């Protein structure tokens, strides 16, 4: 019991340290996100944007992750990002989607008009 409290405290401190420089927006499943990710190729680093629909969030606290899916050259590409990763520079919410599930993995089998998500009016 005491050990888990120490671990939670360390995780809270690390999350606070990582969120000082960047702001994590409030987003949900179904939102279209633009994730600016740091990519290292050899000795060079650059920022690359990955824009797609958030399929779901999993985990809690420091270990929280989210999955983003986009269509690239007619092929679906999914990528999981740790929420508090130092490789994630910035997360932008492009549009808010209205879905009725926590995980929208059913989009994997859909394409075209059936894969559209209606916009949420907040």
Q: What are the b/e assignments for 84-121, b being 16+ CB within 10 Å? A: beeebeebeeeebbebeeeebeebeeeeeeebebeeee
CB of 67 within 8 A of CB of 56? Answer: yes
Rg (CA), the chain: 16
Domain at 2-112, CATH class: mainly beta
Record the pTM.
Answer: 0.87
Integer angstrom CA distances of residue 4 from 11, 59, 61 = 10, 16, 13
pLDDT digits (tens, 9 = 90+) for 33-73: 999 999 999 999 999 999 999 999 999 888 999 999 999 88
Inform me whether the pLDDT recorded for 20 exceeds 80.
Answer: yes
- Domain locations in the chain as residue ranges: 2-112
């Amino acid at each position: 019991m005491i050990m888990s409290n120490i671990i939670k405290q360390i995780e809270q401190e690390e999350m606070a340290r990582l969120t000082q420089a960047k702001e994590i927006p409030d987003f949900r499943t179904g939102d279209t996100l633009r994730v600016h990710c740091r990519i290292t190729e050899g000795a060079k680093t650059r920022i690359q944007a990955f824009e797609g629909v958030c399929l779901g969030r999993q985990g809690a606290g420091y270990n929280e992750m989210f999955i983003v899916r986009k269509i690239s050259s007619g092929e679906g590409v999914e990528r999981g990002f740790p929420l508090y990763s130092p490789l994630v520079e910035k997360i932008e919410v492009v549009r808010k989607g209205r879905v009725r599930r926590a995980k929208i993995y059913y989009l994997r089998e859909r394409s075209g008009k059936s894969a559209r998500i209606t916009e949420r009016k907040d």
